[in-house]
Amino acid sequence: MVVFPNCKINIGLQITGKRTDGFHDLETVFFPVALKDALEVIPAAGQKEAIIYTSSGNVIEGATKDNLCIRAYHLIKKDHTGLPALKMHLHKAIPSGAGLGGGSADAAFTLRLIDQLFSLQLTEARLAEYALLLGSDCPFFLLNKPAFASGRGEMLEPVSINLSDYRILIVNPRIHVNTGWAFSQLQPPSLKHEDLKTAICQPVDKWKEFIRNDFEAAVFSTHPEIASIKKTLYKEGAVYASMSGSGSSVFGIFKKGKEPQLNFPAHYFCKLV
């Protein structure tokens, strides 16, 4: 069975407090984007290893045993010991560590694929519990529709956002922004935040007046080339531009028919979807 995990962008990202469990409370709007990986899983009963994993495309950093797809398999197998061995291949097209949720998407799609492939009949609530163990934004990819997120990012409320008249340009400068470092740079959450639920209902060309990403100040100060991407997207006619997550990807929303003229360095990842 083959599935195609897609990425997301954050429209607004507001940190509202530090939790006792070490995580932060936040508010954001997750929006799914049709930039996709490809994941294939094949039952392999009889093979000695529980899972044989291979990958292609973009390089995935870290040890293979820590890969979120493999961890998703082992989470389910803990409760379903009869789960057979698998062969799994992941083709990475979504840049890794880029604020696009690619790893979380792969994990969420793995959970659902295994559930369907082996008729486990897991409830949505149980899938979400597994997903949250893998990443704060992982449960979103089970819903995979525009959603207002709060808590760690796992409390999801569907929202109506129509971007059918627009295209989204994603630019990633191949800079790794450490998520832990980014959180450590946040100012105390005493800053006044706009009501994101209200702001997201404004016309798209009004978003830049009300919607911001709290990580931008620190990331842009440390990596001015990321700030420059946002400025360029606005210069090229974006109605809204922002960094996604804690970076380093920046996206711009353009009216259909207005193709931006790009002159980014050759090693940048650029995709118009």
Q: Would you state the pLDDT for residue 219?
A: 96
Residues 144 and 16 in one domain: yes
Residue 262: CB atoms within 10 Å: 13
Count structural domains, the chain.
2
The verdict on whether 137 is a catalytic residue reads: yes
Residues 191 and 263 in one domain: yes
Residues 84 and 152 in one domain: yes
**Closest Cα partner for 35 from 73, 91, 87?**
91
In the block, residue with structure tokens 């997201």: 200
Residues 101 and 216 in one domain: no
Q: Would you state the pLDDT for residue 191?
A: 52
Q: Which domain holds residue 83?
A: 2-157
Residues 30 and 78 in one domain: yes
Q: Would you state the pLDDT for residue 62?
A: 80
The answer to whether the predicted template modeling score (pTM) of the entire model surpasses 0.85 is yes
Residues 149 and 14 in one domain: yes
CATH number at 129 reads 3.30.230.10
The helix (H) or strand (E) run that includes residue 153 is none
- Which of 157, 192, 210 is a domain's end point? 157
Q: Would you state the pLDDT for residue 190?
A: 47
Residue 240: CB atoms within 10 Å: 21
Q: Are 71 and 134 in contact (CB under 8 A)?
A: yes
Q: Would you state the pLDDT for residue 117?
A: 95
CATH number at 190 reads 3.30.70.890
Residues 149 and 173 in one domain: no
Tens-place pLDDT, residues 61-79: 888 888 999 999 999 999 9
- Which of 102, 125, 157 is a domain's end point? 157
- Which of 157, 186, 206 is a domain's end point? 157
Residues 64 and 191 in one domain: no
Residues 123 and 187 in one domain: no
CA 45 to each of CA 61, 83, 137, 155: distance values in angstroms, whole numbers, following the listed order: 29, 9, 32, 37
Residues 77 and 200 in one domain: no
Q: How many helices (DSSP H) and strands (DSSP E) are in the chain?
A: 9, 12
Beta bridge mates, 109: none
**Closest Cα partner for 212 from 10, 5, 4, 1?**
10
Query: Of 106, 137, 214, 230, which one is the catalytic site residue?
Result: 137
pLDDT in tens, the chain (273 residues): 999 999 999 999 999 888 888 788 899 999 999 999 999 999 998 888 899 999 999 988 888 888 999 999 999 999 999 999 999 999 999 999 899 999 999 999 999 999 999 999 999 999 999 999 999 999 999 999 999 999 999 999 999 999 999 999 999 999 999 888 998 888 765 456 678 999 999 999 999 999 999 999 999 999 999 999 999 999 999 999 999 999 999 999 999 998 898 899 999 999 999
Report how far residue 266's alpha carbon sits from residue 270's, in angstroms, rounded to the nearest whole number.
9
Residues 133 and 16 in one domain: yes
Residues 54 and 189 in one domain: no
